Amino acid sequence: MTQATIVDSHCHLDFADFDTERDDVIARAIAAGVTRMVTICTKLRLEPQVRAIADKYPSVYYAAGSHPMSVADEPLATADELIAMSKHPKFVGIGETGLDYHYTAESADLQKQSLRVHIAAARETKLPLIIHARAADDDMTQILREEFSNGAYTCVMHCFSSSAALGQAALDLGFYLSMSGIAAFPKSQELRDIFASAPADRILVETDSPYLAPPPFRGRRNEPAYTAHTAKVGAEVFGLSYEDFAKQTTDNFDRLFWKAKP
């Protein structure tokens, strides 16, 4: 039987953690059945470097945006700037953007402004919005709903580890929830229960590497090959075989990230 293939919908291959062995990291991912990866640019001034990685490796695509934790230190993105970047054939998503009040609550107003800019770009380009949400559930729910009422857009709640209420609000808008290594941690049963109550056709998997390695690699540098370990837990959550869960999440990815479809 051929190996099930899967997608790492969110990683950071431009980070220095991978500088000395990027070729090997991508080769290991492919050997593990992770045939496509989306590497995420978190500061727009670094977009050329992230784009170069996507250009170099056939299996890598990219997205770009201003991470909420860095909006106070970076020029505010414009929708036009994001739309212009999106013309590149391997640019497949807008973000990551969002709200993070855990570490950077002092820039909340700027984060909200930035988030709305990214939503406008997602709406215009028809590319999925990639959301980072931490300790900001109420504001996030309000903005996502408000903006959706102004015009539809698609979205994934990346590395979803928020409340059941925010998860349901996102699902109600037709959005997707992405499982990271956090969902595989032993103490994450409450989070697994939230995923279990979601439709299987709205789930993606990701590493967010180099962060959040799933067991048995927890505490070490994460890499795209480890998507398979999170997906094995995801398969158990949904009562599916690994092969069926890999196929389901890949189909979901292709529907949402339509520009990265083979």
**159: phi then psi, degrees, rounded to nearest 5:** 50, 50
Using an 8 Å Cβ cutoff, are 142 and 167 in contact?
Answer: no
Supply the DSSP symbol for 178. Answer: E
130: domain range?
A: 6-260
CA dihedral 111, 117, 122, 128 (to 10 degrees): -10
Digit-coded pLDDT (tens) for 9-18 = 999 999 999 9
CA dihedral 59, 50, 133, 179 (to 10 degrees): 20
Residue 202 lies in a domain: yes
DSSP string across 32-85? TTEEEEEEEESSGGGHHHHHHHHHH-TTEEEEE---GGGTTTSPPP-HHHHHHH
In the block, residue with structure tokens 């890999």: 246
Share of the chain above pLDDT 70, in %: 99
Count how many domains the chain has: 1
What's the rounded mean pLDDT across residues 87-97? 98
Residue 1 lies in a domain: no
Please name which of 51, 30, 81, 37 lies closest in space to residue 260, comparing C-alpha atoms: 37
Digit-coded pLDDT (tens) for 17-43 = 999 999 999 999 999 999 999 999 999
Please name which of 64, 30, 34, 68 lies closest in space to residue 47, comparing C-alpha atoms: 64
Digit-coded pLDDT (tens) for 56-79 = 999 999 999 999 999 999 999 999
Residue 2 has pLDDT above 90, yes or no: no
Residue 42 lies in a domain: yes
Digit-coded pLDDT (tens) for 123-143 = 999 999 999 999 999 999 999
Looking at residue 183, its pLDDT comes to 97
Digit-coded pLDDT (tens) for 137-168 = 999 999 999 999 999 999 999 999 999 999 99
User: What mean pLDDT, rounded, does the chain reach?
Assistant: 97
Task: State how far the Cα of 262 lies from the Cα of 36, in Å rounded to an integer.
Answer: 9
Residue 239 has pLDDT above 50, yes or no: yes
Looking at residue 3, its pLDDT comes to 81
Domain CATH code at residue 207: 3.20.20.140
User: Which token pair is 83?
Assistant: 């739309």
Q: Looking at the DSSP assignment, which residues form a beta bridge with residue 34?
A: 6
Instruction: Say how many C-beta atoms besides its own lie within 10 A of residue 145's C-beta.
Output: 13
Using an 8 Å Cβ cutoff, are 119 and 82 in contact?
Answer: no
Residue 1 has pLDDT above 50, yes or no: no
Residue 87 has pLDDT above 90, yes or no: yes
Look up the pTM and report it: 0.97
